[in-house]
Amino acid sequence: MNALLPLAGAGVFARVVFAVATAASLAVGAATSTDSGKARAQAPAGAPNVILIVVDDQADNSFKSRYMPQTFRWLVDRGTRFEGGLAAPPLCCPDRAGLLTGDYPHNSGVFWDNPGYAALTDKGDTLPVWLKNAGYRTGLVGKLMNHYDDFGGRRPAPGFDYWFNLLGEKRYYRYHVSDQGRQRYFGRARRDYSTDVFTHAATRFIDRSARGTRPFFLWLGYDAPHTAHAKDVRGCSGNDPVPPNYAALRPFQRLRLPKSPSFNERDVSDKPPNIASRPRIDLTTLDNIRRRFHCTLGADREVDRDIGRLRRELHRDGEVSSTIVFYVSDNGYFFGEHRIPRGKTLPYEPALRVPYAVHVPPRYRAGPQRRVDRHLVSNEDIPATILDFAGDPQSCAAALDCRTLDGRSLGPLLGGSRRWPRDRAVLSEISGGDKHWRSVRTPRYLYVRYEGGERELYDLRRDPDELRNLASEPRYSRVERALAAKLGRLRHCAGIKGRDQQMTGVPFCE
């Protein structure tokens, strides 16, 4: 836990419809209690609804308008796609902990998927608790975080009014959910496909929320396009994502696999041993990668259709112009880059960069959204952004023990002032299994230090595909020293300068 208190009245950017306080001040004000035993505040008049859509393992190479047309028409063409959007770090549980808390792993406590949720510090001091205490109706549909049910069973996580959580092994068919604490089983029928089941539960939550007077917050966690660990559709193996049926897969089966210059990289001798020792990708592995890409697109297409269904439900309920929507993946995925046939957990661009789009209705912004934004942003920025738009109906003066967010509000980039740190650095941390590393990513550079002492440095302006490791090269010695020092500071950072008060000996994040 961070015991930092925000600067009173430190505004982030001007709001059009209603005044807001800083993201940190709402976090502090709301986090002084859990979701029990305290009278709920009333949300500010005109406060927006918020939907956070989190997909699982979607790489940037499948987030394109020709694959997901409805998502692009709503959230990109009428919103902002952050091409510099990062999952920091690129692994499910640490990244989702960042979405819950706005914190890097060294403050959230979650560095790896196992034990997952159990490692989260201050479980009653999270985004849904803050929003519930601020007067929101809150809901979780789908996947929250790995191993939540090992810790909490079928009970809702703190802060959630509505709870429809995927249990146990993640599958597209033949799975269990906790529906408000009651275990339900979904089988092999087409109507049981998890993406559609989750969308149906989400539209039910939206419809019921629209009948009330409170704004709502919905975390909608699709399992797609995660691997299934079970063969459910012809044409996809047990380690592929699963489309709803073969008809959904068929349109993509003849598509060429996208191959960047790093695909099946010719020379990996400059990289750490776990990469340098990898063999070239053979024809059998190539066929597996190609098939997985096609199955991914089939699963993504159903997500896209269901996002269209969500928009239609919001329109029917008269809520579409009052709802801010985020679309992100919890990490990217490898499709043969650097000879890595599958997976994530490494700090290279295919795993680190993710689909990242935000739509803010005009009434909540001072100006137009830019359709494409290239600033460096991370998933840890999303809680601060939501709190910024939600407003602050409570005083934080009495807060003594509360979480400070490491991320910053995206408001300036979403129709606001567009002020953003020019050379912002984003931290990634992973520690578990055989992966132990920290990295710092700036708009130009990636610098990584591994537990065994190996280092990587890439100049992404000159080498966007990370083909040449520049660590120890004399002409980059000053750059490496500066990035090493920055990494040393960020691994202990907390809060944002100008928004939060600094704790003695703890540097600010960027």
- The string of pLDDT tens digits covering residues 259-280 is 999 999 999 999 999 999 999 9
- Residue-level pLDDT at 28: 32
- Burial code of 482-504, b = ≥16 C-beta within 10 A, e = fewer? ebeebbebbbebbbbeebbeeee
Q: State how far the Cα of 51 lies from the Cα of 206, in Å rounded to an integer.
A: 10
- Residue-level pLDDT at 7: 27
Listed in order, strand segments (DSSP E) in 17-157 are 49-55, 80-82, 85-86, 137-142
Q: State how far the Cα of 484 lies from the Cα of 478, in Å rounded to an integer.
A: 10
Q: Which two tokens stand for residue 206?
A: 């939206």
C-beta of residue 372 within 8 angstroms of C-beta of residue 80: yes
For residue range 150-200, list pLDDT tens digits in order: 999 999 999 999 999 999 987 899 999 999 999 999 999 999 999 999 999
Q: What average pLDDT is seen over the chain?
A: 90
- pLDDT of 6 higher than 50: no
- Residue-level pLDDT at 220: 98
Q: State how far the Cα of 326 lies from the Cα of 51, in Å rounded to an integer.
A: 6
Q: How confident is the model over 129-142, as a mean pLDDT?
A: 95
Distance of CA 83 to the CA centre of its chain: 14
Q: State how far the Cα of 361 lies from the Cα of 150, in Å rounded to an integer.
A: 38
- pLDDT of 503 higher than 60: yes
Confidence of residue 407 (pLDDT cuts 50, 70, 90): very high
- pLDDT of 70 higher than 60: yes
Give the 3-state DSSP-derived string for 95-132, with helices as H, strands as E and coil as C. Answer: HHHHHHHCCCHHHHCCCCCCCHHHHCCCCCCCHHHHHH
Q: Bridge partners of 328?
A: 54, 356
> Which distant-in-sequence residues (6+ apart) come within 8 Å of 200 by Cβ?
none
For residue range 471-486, list pLDDT tens digits in order: 999 999 999 999 999 9
Total residues belonging to the chain: 510
Confidence of residue 104 (pLDDT cuts 50, 70, 90): very high
Q: Which of 167, 121, 112, 132 is CA-nearest to residue 26?
A: 132
Q: State how far the Cα of 360 lies from the Cα of 416, in Å rounded to an integer.
A: 11
> Which distant-in-sequence residues (6+ apart) come within 8 Å of 488 by Cβ?
none
Q: State how far the Cα of 316 lies from the Cα of 318, in Å rounded to an integer.
A: 6
The string of DSSP letters for 218-282 reads: EEEE--TTS--SS--STT--TTS---SSHHHHGGGTTPPPP--TTBT-S--TTS-HHHHTPPPP-
Q: State how far the Cα of 413 lies from the Cα of 395, in Å rounded to an integer.
A: 27
Q: Which two tokens stand for residue 485?
A: 């020092």
- pLDDT of 31 higher than 90: no
**Alpha-carbon separation of residue 271 from 39, 434, 472, 487 (angstroms):** 56, 16, 12, 19
C-alpha angle with apex 352: 255 to 365, nearest 5 degrees? 95
- Residue-level pLDDT at 227: 92
Q: Are strands 323-329 and 175-179 parallel, antiparallel or unpaired?
A: unpaired
C-beta of residue 392 within 8 angstroms of C-beta of residue 442: no
Q: Which two tokens stand for residue 210?
A: 């629209």
Query: Would you tell me how many other CB atoms lie within 10 Å of the CB of residue 166?
Result: 25
Confidence of residue 39 (pLDDT cuts 50, 70, 90): low
Confidence of residue 392 (pLDDT cuts 50, 70, 90): low
Q: Bridge partners of 399?
A: none
- pLDDT of 109 higher than 70: yes
Q: State how far the Cα of 151 lies from the Cα of 135, in Å rounded to an integer.
A: 27
Q: Please report the domains of the chain, with CATH numbers, ordered by start residue.
A: 23-490 (3.40.720.10)
382 or 30: which leads in pLDDT:
382
The string of DSSP letters for 322-356 reads: GEEEEEEES----SSBTT--S---S-SHHHHB--E
pTM (whole model) above 0.85:
yes
C-beta of residue 153 within 8 angstroms of C-beta of residue 130: no
- Residue-level pLDDT at 237: 86
**Alpha-carbon separation of residue 186 from 71, 171, 190, 225, 384 (angstroms):** 27, 10, 10, 18, 36
- Residue-level pLDDT at 62: 97
Q: Which two tokens stand for residue 279?
A: 């063999």
Q: Which of 472, 357, 386, 340 is CA-nearest to residue 130?
A: 386
C-alpha angle with apex 74: 368 to 193, nearest 5 degrees? 155
